Amino acid sequence: MESAVSHMKSLAKAVSTKDPRTRLLSNADGQVVQSGAEYLQRIVRQISNPVRWDLCMATMAELGVTGLLELPPAGTLTGIAKRNLKGVELFSLNTPDQLDDARDFVDRHADASHYDLSTTPSWRLVVSPGKGRFTRDASINVDDTLAAHTSIGSVKNLRDEIPVSATYGGVVLEWLVEDDDPVAPGQPLLRLHPSPSSIQENLA
């Protein structure tokens, strides 16, 4: 399958991604992946690697998951989970007439507090304000600490050039675009880990 990996890797470069708003586990190693770009890379790599559902279940146990709903065709993963995730309620969704029960199941087990990224985010994104080509500030590197409102570059199109800044400060985790890349409105450009001062600034 290695030849398929290289082909898919070239195709993946044209795919725009967004970071997940809920916990997303990778069945490559069971890790929680917070970057859409990283998740896309993992999907490509996994074409030639095994699925580690066992590691996903271990992560779910650590997270204190209380319910697991499998989408159709369902039964295989919930069957494995029944033997390994003792005490976790399971739901295999296979037919449309189960949808109401599935919604009730999700309501019982959902915990909105896990997904509130507005008050204590583990990272923040700087996104493109418009369509055009992005020119990044070459002086900004991974692990740099940025102050609030630091300019990170600009988006230029036929009509104007739009400055882009990091509204909140933080430590640079990764650039999500390259210099002179075409970007769309709302496309992630830079990922930051909030500093304690920037979190307090957001709460003020």
The residue range of the domain holding 135 is 124-203
pTM: 0.53
Specify whether 132 is located in the same domain as 69: no
Judge if 134 and 54 occupy the same domain.
no
Q: Are residues 53 and 108 in the same domain?
A: yes
- Residue linked to tokens 């199109």: 157
101 and 128 both lie in a single domain: no
Average pLDDT per consecutive 10 residues, the chain (204 residues; last block may be shorter): 84 81 82 81 89 88 88 91 92 93 91 48 78 93 90 90 86 92 88 64 42
pLDDT the model gives residue 160: 84
Q: Which of 115, 137, 172 is the last residue of a domain?
A: 115
Same domain, yes or no, for 170 and 187?
yes
30: alpha, beta or left, given left = phi > 0 and alpha = psi -120 to 50? left
- Please identify, among 50, 84, 115, the residue that sits at the C-terminal boundary of a domain: 115
Same domain, 199 and 131: yes
Same domain assignment for residues 85 and 129: no
Can you give the pLDDT at residue 128?
Answer: 87
Instruction: Based on the fold, state whether residues 6 and 104 are members of the same structural domain.
Output: yes
Give the pLDDT of residue 24: 83
pLDDT at 195: 63
- At residue 196, the pLDDT reads 52
